[in-house]
């Protein structure tokens, strides 16, 4: 609200305008480029989804009381009801297959294992995420041998 003092209206001072312009300049220099370069965000999002696929496979194995397989290729993580993941599990959210595909610049080591009806893996495994995206870090998913505990590092 503009206050009137006599006949003259009072507005912003020059200092207030300069500070506002400086704050907008800082945002433009640092924050906006982070949102335009989404590669690292896509990489982290894929990692989180891959962890969810592995955990879903373990929980499904316990719930169904039968083996559920996890197949990792250089670009995909899939959970399936049959060996080789030829029959992927159904995603409870969208009804599609439980498969996540890596964004450009991210590759995985190839590994295949299964969870038994108690949630234990057939072998202790580590899924390594390699990246060529500048500023991104390497990540891994670990699966403990005896318990099947899925660790996200």
In a shared domain, residues 25 and 75: no
Place of tokens 């990540």: 139
Most confident of 12-16, 105-109, 133-137: 105-109
Contact 116, 67 (CB under 8 A): yes
pLDDT for position 29: 81
In a shared domain, residues 12 and 57: no
Q: Which structural domain, as residue segments, surrounds residue 16?
A: 4-36
Write out pLDDT tens, residues 68-90.
Answer: 999 999 999 999 999 999 899 99
Tokens of 39: 């590669």
pLDDT for position 46: 96
Write out pLDDT tens, residues 127-149.
Answer: 999 999 988 899 999 999 999 99
In a shared domain, residues 23 and 43: no
Query: How many structural domains is the chain composed of?
Result: 2
In a shared domain, residues 107 and 51: yes
Q: How far is C-alpha 120 from the chain's CA centre?
A: 24
Select from 133, 125, 88 the least CA-distant residue to 109: 125
pLDDT at 92 over 80: yes
Q: Is the dihedral of CA 85, 96, 50, 148 positive or negative?
A: negative
In a shared domain, residues 21 and 96: no
pLDDT for position 26: 86
In a shared domain, residues 63 and 25: no
Write down the pTM of the prediction: 0.77
């Amino acid at each position: 609200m503009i206050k009137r003092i006599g006949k003259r209206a009072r507005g912003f001072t020059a200092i207030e305008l300069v500070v506002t312009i400086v704050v907008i300049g800082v945002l433009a220099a640092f924050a906006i480029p982070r949102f335009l370069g989404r590669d690292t965000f896509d990489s982290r999002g894929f990692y989180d989804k891959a962890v969810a696929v592995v955990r879903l496979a373990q929980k499904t194995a316990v719930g169904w009381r039968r083996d559920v397989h996890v197949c990792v290729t250089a670009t995909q993580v899939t959970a399936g009801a049959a060996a080789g993941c030829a029959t992927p599990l159904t995603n409870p959210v969208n009804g599609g297959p439980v498969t996540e595909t890596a964004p450009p610049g991210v590759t995985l080591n190839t590994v295949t294992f299964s969870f038994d009806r108690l949630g234990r893996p057939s072998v202790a495994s580590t899924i390594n995420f390699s990246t060529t995206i500048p500023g991104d870090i390497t990540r891994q998913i670990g699966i403990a041998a005896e318990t099947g505990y899925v660790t996200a590092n």
